[in-house]
Homo-oligomer: A and B are copies of this chain.
Amino acid sequence: MMPLAEAQARLLANVPPPPATERCPLNAALNMVLAETVTSTVTVPPSDNSAVDGYAVRYADLGRVLPVSQRIPAGAVPAPLVPGSAARIFTGAAVPAEADTVLMQEECEALDGQVRLPAASSVKTSPVKKGANIRRAGQDIRAGDEVVSAGTRLSPRHLGLLASVGVAEVSVYRPLRVALLSTGDELAEPGTAAAPGQIYNSNRYLLHALLAEAGMIPVDLGRVADDYAATHGALASAGQRCDLVLTTGGVSVGEEDHMRAAVAALGSLDLWRVAIKPGKPFAFGHLGDTPFMGLPGNPSAVLVTFMILVLPWLRRAQGLAGDPMPPCVGLPAGFSTDKPGKREEYLRVQVVGEAGQQRLQPHPNQSSGMLSSACWAEGLAVVPAGRVVREGDVLGFIRF
């Protein structure tokens, strides 16, 4: 068997250059991968501004009654503060020149056209300091700062940040197109009656949604008959239209396997026995220049091999920088095992208990054919090959 780390390294060593770029408005760029490093042309905030509704004053004037010489709503451009006066100011508004402190309105007493300022020491919350309640220009970003770097997957936070520096559209890598090909005469389509001996095709829908969730474009090519010519034709066409061709269940050492022969005829194919459970049989090859991956047929094996082998590859191929593996936190096991496994095992688990006493609890049925346990679960617990688990041992946990 091939150690899992070796399989991952071999796949990641075979990532093609990223796809073409396109310009994309912010509201359409969620989950896209940024193809350029964006630097700011502006300073955020652009000027010193008030963190509260209140009065902008000079610190030396605290304790006095002052006339209110101007009113500064957010967005207005204030005049310099008239000496010996206060400026009424609102949250986010620019602090006028000559003012060095902002007092919260709750601490002041508004009189008719005047305001009574508290003494520095009498302020309720804490003695007020010179510079209080002023957010400094450039506190968040300075002009020329790198804001978001190329290779970042754009989250809502990134889109908000890009907007905050005035960027309305960005250059992103066009989403990868991934062909899905189902094989096997035993597969019936949902919504139709299954003939005796047939089972419903679930992998097609599972993978379609996993790809959509990852921000890529699933290209569903349907089911191919168990026939060499049909398989060869479907693969050749898929390879021309897509960035990756993905199949399930068709690549094994079984005699019924036209997929293997057709891929080899169109390019090259390696069959791996990867030390991963569920999983193990995994095929990697090329149809001409287009990469091909063949996953096992059991749905939970499809889920795990997609998350651990295919998706990291896809993330890199999409142009994503940094670690392509799913995020993993350490949590204590709420179970134990008798003997070490030969393969790295991905158990379908729930996280039970309150924060601080949380434990990973596996579903009692970890059969690779079961999707119901994957729906019950919140994520996968990782048990390395050769490891006996004792209750309380910290294991990696990957949330779905």
| Stretch from A203-211, A262-270, A312-320 that touches the partner | A203-211
| Stretch from A1-9, A87-95, A111-119, A171-179 that touches the partner | A87-95
| Chain B residue at minimum C-beta to C-beta distance from A371 | B161
Are B165 and A400 within 8 A (Cβ)? no
**Least CB distance, A190 to chain B, in whole angstroms:** 4
| Cα of A374 to Cα of B148 in the assembled complex, Å | 12
Q: Mark A311-333, 1 if CB is under 8 A from B, else 0.
A: 00000000000000001111100
Residues of B within 8 A of A329 (CB): 329, 331, 351, 355, 358, 397
| Stretch from A10-18, A71-79, A235-243, A286-294 that touches the partner | A71-79
Known contacts: A209-B30, A253-B53. The answer to whether A168 contacts B141 by CB under 8 A is: no
A166 adjacent to chain B (CB < 8 Å): yes
Q: Which of A159, A203, A374, A396 has the most CB of B within 10 A?
A: A159
Residues of B within 8 A of A147 (CB): 372
Are B202 and A190 within 8 A (Cβ)? no
Residues of B within 8 A of A399 (CB): 327, 399
A150 adjacent to chain B (CB < 8 Å): no
Residues of B within 8 A of A200 (CB): 42, 44, 163-166
Name A's interface SS.
loop
A69 adjacent to chain B (CB < 8 Å): no
Known contacts: A161-B372, A299-B164. The answer to whether A226 contacts B73 by CB under 8 A is: yes
A196 adjacent to chain B (CB < 8 Å): yes
Are B73 and A252 within 8 A (Cβ)? no
| Cα of A252 to Cα of B105 in the assembled complex, Å | 12
| Cα of A197 to Cα of B194 in the assembled complex, Å | 67
Place the interface of chain A in its size category.
Answer: 35 or more
Total copies of the chain = 2
**Least CB distance, A352 to chain B, in whole angstroms:** 11
Are A371 and B140 within 8 A (Cβ)? yes
A135 adjacent to chain B (CB < 8 Å): yes
Are B394 and A355 within 8 A (Cβ)? yes
Are B158 and A375 within 8 A (Cβ)? yes
A139 adjacent to chain B (CB < 8 Å): yes
Residues of B within 8 A of A207 (CB): 156
A61 adjacent to chain B (CB < 8 Å): no
Are A135 and B185 within 8 A (Cβ)? no
Known contacts: A329-B329, A370-B140. The answer to whether A209 contacts B254 by CB under 8 A is: no
Are A254 and B148 within 8 A (Cβ)? no
| Cα of A186 to Cα of B90 in the assembled complex, Å | 11
Are A206 and B156 within 8 A (Cβ)? yes
| Cα of A303 to Cα of B135 in the assembled complex, Å | 19
Taking CB atoms and an 8 Å cut-off, the chain A residues in 346-397 that contact chain B are: 351, 354-358, 365, 367, 369-372, 374-375, 378, 394-397
- What are 14 sample pairs from A and B whose C-beta atoms fall under 8 A apart? A27-B220, A42-B200, A45-B199, A46-B198, A47-B197, A77-B197, A93-B197, A157-B206, A161-B372, A164-B199, A165-B200, A166-B188, A329-B351, A329-B355
List 14 additional A-B contacts (Cβ < 8 Å) besides A44-B199, A140-B370, A159-B206.
A27-B208, A27-B220, A45-B369, A74-B256, A91-B254, A105-B253, A160-B203, A160-B209, A160-B303, A163-B206, A164-B202, A168-B189, A327-B399, A329-B358
